[in-house]
């Protein structure tokens, strides 16, 4: 799929030029897909950190767009559910927490940021080395892509795929496509923030020790525990010879609820005839009497159907010459 992906020659030529200019600056760069455009915020209904006027403007834009089905959106629920893109300030805090230094070169792969430089100041204060395609390319080079948002996005796509690290603030279609392309090229480093856990996990409150509460008893030292274990082992060794297991006797009596009396020794001599009570003396088990096998009742089967007898009517001559057939009588 990705081998068959090809862009038009003007897009690929300009994208390769911008990549070479980025490499000539620092050698390595991060491609940041910052989804903080006006249409994105209006579509998701995320107004966190915006003024009341900006929130109303986004609401009016969402209501006037016909192909957006959801019109009423609760911004707080969206943010608590992790469905809002990260703000530039949150992205800056996130990258600094990952350990990237302030001198890191970051390419912003996005459109016009809602709020302009005032909104980006929270990110540029932590990473001042921010670049856009408008700052890398000349006006003449971007003249053919001014009114074509899809072609501009294609340039950002190529630069993001070839970057050393790709970071996305929102898991949209382009971010997923870039992530899959980078995995296809050899699992290049891609970072996607878990917005749900990043924004919702509360910070643990500091635990203040209660100095007035009584201190718990200290645990016994290890030497005392060893002495206790040794004493218990000695007691067990002394009790082993006097122990007699009764499991066999218990199970033997459980298996035979009516224990038999002890048998008398039976001595047979050669000259002594056999006693007819020998089976009772030997206490041989008697076989249960054989019950007659019940006879199976024959299954009721209906009698086979008998073939129907067809009447043969002779039109020329009846069976009785004196009595004509009914058909001939009707004809007469």
Model confidence at 287: pLDDT above 60: no
| Helix runs in 107-216, H state only | 117-124, 133-136, 149-161, 173-184, 195-200
Cα dist. 297→88, 290, 291, 294, 304 in Å? Answer: 90, 21, 18, 9, 20
Convert the pLDDT of each residue in 118-158 to its tens digit.
889 989 999 999 999 888 888 888 888 888 888 889 999 99
For 9-105, strand residue ranges (E) read: 30-33
pLDDT at 279: 53
Least confident of 31-40, 188-197, 237-246: 237-246
Among 23-27, 177-181, 195-199, name the most confident range: 177-181
Least confident of 21-30, 64-73, 189-198, 206-215: 206-215
CATH number of 9-36+85-200: 3.40.50.11350
Across residues 316-326, what is the average pLDDT?
A: 54
- Residue 315 neighbours by CB under 8 Å, 6+ apart: 325, 327, 328
Residue matched to tokens 């949150």: 90
- 1, containing H or E segment: none
b/e 141-166 (16+ beta carbons within 10 angstroms → b): eeeebeeeeebbebbbbbbbbbbebb
Among 99-113, 259-273, 312-326, name the most confident range: 99-113
pLDDT at 18: 92
Higher pLDDT, 220 or 230: 230
Convert the pLDDT of each residue in 44-102 to its tens digit.
888 888 888 989 999 999 998 888 888 888 888 888 888 888 889 999 999 998 889 99
pLDDT at 237: 77
Token reading at 279? 């089976």
pTM score of the predicted model? 0.58
Percent of the chain at pLDDT exceeding 70: 69
pLDDT at 245: 56
Model confidence at 209: pLDDT above 90: no
Enumerate the domain spans of the chain.
9-36+85-200, 38-84
Higher pLDDT, 285 or 118: 118
Higher pLDDT, 22 or 249: 22
Higher pLDDT, 210 or 68: 68
- Residue 10 neighbours by CB under 8 Å, 6+ apart: 144
SS3 percent helix, strand, coil of the chain, rounded to 5, is: 40, 5, 55
Cα dist. 123→31, 192, 246 in Å? Answer: 14, 17, 80
Model confidence at 331: pLDDT above 90: no
pLDDT at 118: 87
pLDDT at 274: 57
Model confidence at 254: pLDDT above 90: no
């Amino acid at each position: 799929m990705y081998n068959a992906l090809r862009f038009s020659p003007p897009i690929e030529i300009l994208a390769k030029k911008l990549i070479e200019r980025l490499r000539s600056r620092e050698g390595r760069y991060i491609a940041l897909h910052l989804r903080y455009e006006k249409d994105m915020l209006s579509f998701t209904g995320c107004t966190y950190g915006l003024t009341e006027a900006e929130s109303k403007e986004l609401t009016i834009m969402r209501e006037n767009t016909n192909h957006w089905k959801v019109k009423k959106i609760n911004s707080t629920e969206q943010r608590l559910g992790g469905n809002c893109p990260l703000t530039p300030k949150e992205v800056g805090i996130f990258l600094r927490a990952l350990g990237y230094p302030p001198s890191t070169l970051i390419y912003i792969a996005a459109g016009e940021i809602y709020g302009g430089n005032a909104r980006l100041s929270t990110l540029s204060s932590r990473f001042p080395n921010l670049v856009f395609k408008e700052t890398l390319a000349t006006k003449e080079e971007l003249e053919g892509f001014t009114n074509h948002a899809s072609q501009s996005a294609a340039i950002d796509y190529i630069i993001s795929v070839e970057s050393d690290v790709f970071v996305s603030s929102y898991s949209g279609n382009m971010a997923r496509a870039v992530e899959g392309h980078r995995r296809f090229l050899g699992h290049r480093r891609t970072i996607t923030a878990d917005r749900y856990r990043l924004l919702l996990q509360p910070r643990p409150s500091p635990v203040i020790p209660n100095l007035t509460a009584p201190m718990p008893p200290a645990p016994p030292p290890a030497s005392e525990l060893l002495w206790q274990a040794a004493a218990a082992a000695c007691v067990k060794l002394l009790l082993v010879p006097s122990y007699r297991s009764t499991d066999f006797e218990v199970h033997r009596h459980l298996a035979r609820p009516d224990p038999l009396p002890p048998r008398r020794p039976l001595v047979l001599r050669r000259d002594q005839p056999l006693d007819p009570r020998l089976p009772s003396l030997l206490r041989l088990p008697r076989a249960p009497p054989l019950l007659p096998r019940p006879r199976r009742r024959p299954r009721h089967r209906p009698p086979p159907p008998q073939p129907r007898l067809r009447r043969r009517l002779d039109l020329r001559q009846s069976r009785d010459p004196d009595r004509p057939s009914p058909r001939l009588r009707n004809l007469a």
